[in-house]
Amino acid sequence: MNQLIAVIGGDARYLELIRQLQTLPDTTIFLVGFDKLEQGFTGLKQVDFSELEQERLDAVILPITGTNSEGYVETVFSDQEIKLTEQWFAKLKKSSIVFAGITNDFLTSVTDQLHVSLIPLFNRDDVAIYNSIPTAEGTIMMAIEHTDYTIHSSRVIVVGFGRVGNTVANKFSALGAKVSVCARSIMDLARITEMGHTAIPFDKLHEHTSNCDLLINTIPAKVVKKESIQQLPSHAFIIDLASKPGGTDFDYADQRGIKAILARSLPGIVAPKTAGKILADVIKQFLTNEEERI
């Protein structure tokens, strides 16, 4: 039975995602919001948003950002204005799956009310762990670009020991950096020590930043505060990997003359092909019933 997929908007990652989805048998893919793309996709149908027949769609793939709070979809490769409304979602058939990178109150609310299956891909452990690899490589790239000293022998503090923090700490350590990791739980602190890094309890971060060349935050809450930034050496560099607005007091860092950058969506910037394949692999699992629909 032929399944119909609509890809609505998306960035460079979605070019590889679309190529991967083309390998699915008995599948028709409709592209919306790719009309200004110079390269074409053989065998796919580029359509206007108004031409989509929602009641026939088996899956809808939204951009990484999903929608904004009013339902508008970001389109990198188009000037089309696309707005998803409750009425639009209501026309989807009950078995349809909606994929997005992240969700928000609007998207969660409207899909919950209509009992539409929504899969925020970045909430999944497998996607987050795979994405942590290009994120770590992008962080290394930024560290090299923005500093005048080697990563080898640099004193690096990673704030947070989740899926991203773990990978970032290991990659910098592999390059010869002296890595410390700041975490909250006793279990994480024990694991950090076992891995050969220096463990810093969360409330002690400010006591260690005076010996730091590169501070990397992975926590999406204001955790890199004035008292920690105050102790940093003048040559220190802060890379914040958390989602907007980040977890760093950027205003105070600026006052102190400490370079601090909010580095969002690194997988899509440094490795869009890999990032697109990661997303496609998970979506294909759902569409081929290899993954339980949740």
Query: pLDDT tens-digit profile of 64-76?
Result: 999 999 999 989 8
The 8-class DSSP code of residue 10 comes to B
C-alpha–C-alpha distance, residues 133 and 13, integer Å: 15
| Peptide bond before residue 120 is cis, with ω within 30 degrees of 0 | no
Whether 181 and 192 have beta carbons less than 8 Å apart is answered as yes
In this structure, how many other beta carbons lie within 10 angstroms of the beta carbon of residue 167?
Answer: 23
Rounded Cα gap, residues 17 and 283, in angstroms: 9
Mind listing the pLDDT tens digit for each residue in 80-135? 899 999 999 999 999 999 999 999 999 999 999 999 999 999 999 999 999 999 99
Q: Interior CA angle at 220 toward 269 and 125, to 5°?
A: 70
| pLDDT tens per residue across span 20-61 | 999 999 999 999 999 887 666 777 888 999 999 999 999 999
**pLDDT range class, residue 248, cuts 50, 70, 90:** very high
